[in-house]
Chain A
Amino acid sequence: MSFEAFRQLVQEWATAGYLPEALAYGFVVNALLAGLMIGPVLGGLGTLVVVKRFAFFSEAVGHAALTGVAIGILLGEPYTGPYGSLFGYCLLFGILLNFLRNRTGLSPDTLIGVFLSVSLALGASLLLMLAGKINVHILENVLFGSVLTVSGQDLVVLGFVAVLVLALALPLYNRIMLASFNPQLAAVRGVAVKTLDYLFVVLVTLVTVAAVKVIGAILVGALLVIPAAAARLVSQSLKGFFFLSVVIATVSTLFGILLPIVFDLPVPSGAAIILVAGMCFALAALARALVPRLQGNPA
C-alpha cells in the first residue's frame, strides 16, 4: 500500500469517527508519522549521547541547522526543505569539530562553545541578509518547528535516516559505549575507537537534521538529551534506561504534535514536544526523590 493510500485511509477512518478527529487532516497524519520515526530514534540514540556526554554537542549541531537553512536558501534550494545544505553544513560542522577535538587538546565544551557561537553568528547574518527575500514565518518554522509543513519528501528523508541510523547504531551500540569507558580497553577488544567517534558524530548529526522540520533548530538537540536524562534518573539497568528513553521521546513527540492541534493552542510543535519531555523529566526527578529504591541499589 502506498503512503498516499495509507494516509487517505487514516483520514477516512478519522472522518468516519473510528479515529481521533484531528487525524482527518493530512498534515496531522504526516506529522504523527514523522513523530513515530523521530521519537524512538532520538530516544534510543539519546542514551548514547548521555553515556558519552555528548549533550552539548547535539545542541550545537541542532543550532548549526539554522545556518544550514540560511545557506540553503542563499544557494537557491527550496526553503521548505533545503536538505542539501542542511546535511552538508551540519556534517561539516560535526566532523570538523570532532577533528579539532582530537587535534587541539581543548576540552570539548570549550571547542563546542566556539563553534556554536560562530555558527550562530554566521546563520543570523545570512538569515537577516535574506530577510527581504523570504517570508519571516519561515524563520519561525526553522527555529521552533512546524507540523504544518511536513511533506511526503520530509517523511522519505526521515525514514531513510531512521533506518540508516538504526542499522548502524544498534550493532555498534556496545562498542560505542565501551569506547567511552576506556579507549585502551576498547582498542584491545578490537574497537576502532576514533572511527567510531566520527561515526557517532555523523549519526547524531543525521538524526538531528532530519528532525529539524518537526522540532526546530533551537530545540532539536533537547530531544536527544531530556528523555535519556529522565530515563537515567529512574532506571536500574541498561534495558530500563534504553526503553524508557525511547518511550518518553516517542510519547513527548506525539503529544507535542497533537496537543496544540486538539486544544487549538498557538504553540509551535517543537516547543510543545520539549515541554512534554520536560514534564517527564520533572516527574522522573520527583519519583526518584520520593522512592528511595530508585536512588541506587539496596545494600
Chain B
Amino acid sequence: MTAAANLVTGFGPRIEFAGIDLTLGRTRILEQVGFSVAAGSVHAIVGPNGGGKSSLIKTLLGQMPHQGQLTLHWPSEREVIGYVPQALEFDRGLPMTVDDFMAAMCQRRPAFLGLSRRVQPAIDAALARVGMLDKRKRRMGALSGGERQRVLLAQGLIPEPQLLVLDEPMSALDEAGIQVFEQLLKGWRQAGTTVLWIEHDLEAVLRLADRVTGLSRKVLFDAPPAQALTPERLLGLFSVHPRSESLAS
C-alpha cells in the first residue's frame, strides 16, 4: 500500500440489520435482530455471553448462514473492512516476532523473508500508533496479553479500513493500552470510519460510544449510551440469559 492510498479515507459505510434470524442446530442464536449503524459512528454492542454478539459479527463478516436482510451502504467504491479479533490461536513458543506477524497479515511476500518495502511504512506507522514500535523484534508469544492486543489493533489499521469491527478490544489492555485505544477511537471518529464495537466495559461504552445496542438473542435496546445504559435496562439485558455476568465491570 502506498502512502497516498493511506491518506484516502472516505466516510465509512452505514449498516442496516433487518429481521436477522440465525439458528445453529436447534439453538436460536439471533431472533429478528434489527438496528442500524450510522455511517462514521462508533457503535457499541453490549450483552451477556452467549447473547449472540460474536455471531452477529460473524454474520456481518459473511461467515454465518443467516436469514433476514443485512445491507452495507458504502459511500464509495473502496470497501475495506478491518477486523480485530479477541484473540489469536497460536503456539506461544512459535518463533514469530511482532514484525513477522504484521508481515504475515499485511503482505504477500513470505513473512520469513522480512517486511516488504511496499508495506513497511504502513506497518511502521501502525505499530507507532499502538505504541509497539520498540517491541517489534519481540516474539508474539513473549508479549503480555495487553501488548498482543495492541498488535492485533495495529493489524486492523492496515489497509486503512472504512469499517472496523472490534471484538472486545479492551479486555486484555492495561491502563496505557486503554489510552492508546481511546486515541485510536478518536482518530477513527475524525476520519469518519464506522466502528462496530463489542464491549463488556459499560463505563467505556458510556464514555466513548455514539450509540449502543443491547443484544441478548433479540435487540433489547438501541439508543445513545446516556439513555440506554440505565440500571433497569441493564438489569433486563443481563438477567435474560442464565449465564448472566456481573454488572460491576
Contact = CB atoms under 8 A, between A and B. Distances in A.
Interface stretch (B43-51, B100-108, B188-196): B100-108
A173 B142 CA distance: 23
B146 interface: no
B85 A240 contact: no
B186 interface: no
B4 interface: no
Contact of B138 (A181, A238, A297): A297
A290 interface: no
Interface string A200-222: 00000000000000000000000
B111 A180 contact: no
A238 B112 contact: yes
Nearest to B96: A238
Residue with the highest number of chain B CB atoms closer than 10 Å, among A174, A178, A182, A241 = A174
B35 to A, nearest CB: 22
B230 interface: no
Contacts of B63: 184, 187
Contacts, number: 94
B75 interface: no
A247 interface: no
Interface stretch (B86-94, B198-206, B213-221): B86-94
B111 A181 contact: no
A188 B105 CA distance: 11
Contacts of B112: 47, 173, 237-239, 241-243
A238 B98 CA distance: 10
Given A174-B110, A177-B111, A236 B97 contact: yes
B238 interface: no
24 contacts: A50-B91, A51-B90, A51-B91, A173-B111, A174-B109, A177-B111, A180-B90, A181-B89, A182-B85, A182-B88, A184-B85, A185-B85, A187-B63, A188-B165, A235-B95, A237-B97, A237-B100, A237-B139, A238-B95, A238-B103, A238-B112, A239-B112, A239-B114, A241-B96
